């Protein structure tokens, strides 16, 4: 199994990246609540609907602090969802806040409920980290998925990405006889290729979800990453290949069992073609992002040199030899694999 650093180094958002975020409407004057959320007075383990303990903690605040936080959090939710129209969020309530001490970004998960119909939604408050922002942007530009997030100061706000957590899907859905094995194998193959092309690492089963959509005859699946902390950071090439992780062994075996080499090559070629089209449609935005990413420090220098050597060996080329930053390496890898 690929080795992942226990705690990734956090990298500040540079002035140039903030200019980019402002240009593309990601930078907003929302309340900077991350530091306030860390001031919780108590906590208890959060249990899922089946009564099983999770890695999340439900946290509690003093009455004075929660009264201060509630309107700020509903304002943030409104800005994220509907552009901050005040008359559309005053009725909303914040009825639970969970804390994930396990993650690099140490996220808070906010549950917002409409009291008129008891419908709930979630969003996440995290520490703003340049690696994660580059990961979110590359996902938005190069994948079939749209990503909704906002940044202000040290606060990063992310929309909830719906789907069955990867580990739960592999445990509870993969063994089902009605599962369309070919379709999930195809989607996992394409997901692995997307992550490798744009160098998104650590796609263990806990770091992605499976979106299940009933179609008119069959069921469609889409695998979506939910953790972008390891964007262009790890030093070993195999950490960017999701099928190399032990937690994905079951779906990797399934893919090799139900797909022959020609089918795998076809699906890989399809993903390359689709990503190339997206890159060309968003060429101005992608060039702007990678141009700034080239200048930013996103990993230690020895990570860059080690990954460059691994990629040169993998591709049989020396085109990464002069890359001095992870941004240069990512840009060169995207260009090589998508023939841009």
Tell whether 150 is covered by a domain.
yes
Tell whether 2 is covered by a domain.
no
Tell whether 3 is covered by a domain.
no
Contacts of 226 (CB under 8 A, 6+ apart): 161, 163, 207, 208, 209
Q: What is the pLDDT of residue 336?
A: 96
The 10s digit of each residue's pLDDT in 28-70 is 999 999 999 999 999 999 887 777 878 899 999 999 999 999 9
**What's the average model confidence in pLDDT over 188-198?**
97
Query: 88: which 2 tokens?
Result: 């559309």
The DSSP result for 153-190, as a single string, is: TTEEEEE---SEEHHHIIIIITT-TTS-HHHHHHHHHH
Q: Point out the domain boundary residue: 106, 130, 159.
A: 159
| pTM, two decimal places | 0.94
Same structural domain, 230 and 278: yes
Count of beta carbons in the 10 Å neighbourhood of residue 129 = 23
Same structural domain, 145 and 246: no
Nearest Cα neighbor of 103 from 226, 189, 187 is 226
Cα separation, 288 vs 285, whole angstroms: 5
Cα separation, 44 vs 56, whole angstroms: 9
Same structural domain, 207 and 281: yes
- The boundaries of the domain holding residue 284 are 164-338
Count of beta carbons in the 10 Å neighbourhood of residue 232 = 28
Q: Point out the domain boundary residue: 143, 159, 175.
A: 159
Same structural domain, 246 and 107: no
Of all residues in the chain, the percent with pLDDT exceeding 90 is 84
pLDDT of 172 over the 60 cut: yes
Same structural domain, 99 and 186: no
Phi, psi angles (nearest 5°) of residue 147: -120, 130
Tell whether 77 is covered by a domain.
yes
Cα separation, 244 vs 84, whole angstroms: 43
Same structural domain, 229 and 103: no
Same structural domain, 154 and 232: no
Cα separation, 286 vs 277, whole angstroms: 12
Tell whether 312 is covered by a domain.
yes
Same structural domain, 198 and 132: no
Same structural domain, 140 and 239: no
Average pLDDT value for the chain: 93
Length of the chain: 340
Tell whether 332 is covered by a domain.
yes
Tell whether 1 is covered by a domain.
no
Q: Point out the domain boundary residue: 159, 187, 217.
A: 159
Same structural domain, 170 and 319: yes
Torsion region of 83: left, alpha or beta (phi above 0 gives left; psi -120 to 50 gives alpha): left
User: Domains in the chain: how many in total?
Assistant: 2
Distances (CA, A) of 210 to 171, 219, 291, 292: 12, 12, 32, 32
The answer to whether 251 and 170 are in contact (CB under 8 A) is: yes
Q: What is the dihedral of CA 295, 299, 301, 305, to 10 degrees?
A: -100
Nearest Cα neighbor of 89 from 73, 78, 76 is 78
Nearest Cα neighbor of 227 from 174, 290, 296, 161 is 161
Same structural domain, 186 and 122: no
pLDDT category, 134, cuts 50, 70, 90?
very high
The 10s digit of each residue's pLDDT in 258-302 is 999 999 999 999 999 999 999 999 999 999 999 999 999 999 999
Same structural domain, 57 and 145: yes
Cα separation, 327 vs 20, whole angstroms: 15
Q: What is the pLDDT of residue 115?
A: 85
Cα separation, 160 vs 121, whole angstroms: 8
The answer to whether 230 and 201 are in contact (CB under 8 A) is: yes
pLDDT of 236 over the 70 cut: yes
Q: What is the pLDDT of residue 55?
A: 83
Tell whether 6 is covered by a domain.
no
């Amino acid at each position: 199994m690929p080795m992942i650093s226990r705690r990734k180094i956090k990298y500040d958002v540079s002035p140039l990246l903030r200019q980019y975020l402002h240009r593309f409407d990601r930078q907003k004057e929302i309340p900077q609540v991350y530091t306030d959320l860390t001031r919780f007075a108590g906590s208890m383990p959060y249990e899922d609907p089946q009564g099983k303990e999770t890695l999340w903690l439900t946290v509690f605040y003093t009455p004075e602090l929660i009264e201060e936080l509630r309107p700020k959090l509903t304002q943030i939710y409104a800005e994220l969802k509907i552009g901050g129209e005040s008359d559309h969020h005053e009725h909303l309530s914040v009825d639970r806040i969970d804390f994930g001490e396990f993650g690099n970004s140490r996220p808070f998960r906010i549950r917002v409920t409409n009291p008129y119909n008891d419908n709930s939604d979630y969003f996440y408050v995290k520490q703003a980290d340049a690696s994660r922002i580059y990961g979110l942007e590359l996902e938005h530009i190069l994948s079939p998925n749209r990503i909704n997030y906002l940044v202000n100061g040290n606060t990063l706000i992310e929309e909830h990405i719906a789907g069955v957590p990867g580990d739960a899907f592999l445990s509870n859905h993969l063994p089902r006889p009605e599962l369309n094995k070919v379709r999930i194998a195809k989607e996992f193959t394409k997901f692995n290729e997307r992550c490798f092309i744009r160098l998104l690492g650590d796609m263990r089963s806990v770091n992605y979800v499976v979106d299940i959509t009933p179609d008119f005859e069959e069921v469609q699946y889409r695998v979506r990453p939910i953790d972008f902390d390891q964007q262009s950071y790890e030093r070993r090439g195999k950490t960017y290949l999701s099928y190399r992780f032990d937690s994905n062994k079951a779906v990797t075996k399934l893919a090799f069992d139900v797909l022959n080499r020609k089918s795998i090559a076809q699906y890989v070629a399809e993903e390359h073609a689709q990503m190339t089209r997206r890159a060309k449609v968003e060429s101005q935005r992608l060039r702007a992002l990678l141009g700034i990413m080239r200048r930013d420090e996103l990993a230690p220098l020895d990570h860059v040199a080690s990954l460059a050597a691994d990629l040169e060996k993998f591709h049989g080329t020396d085109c990464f030899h002069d890359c001095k930053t992870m941004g240069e390496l990512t840009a060169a890898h995207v260009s090589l694999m998508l023939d841009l």
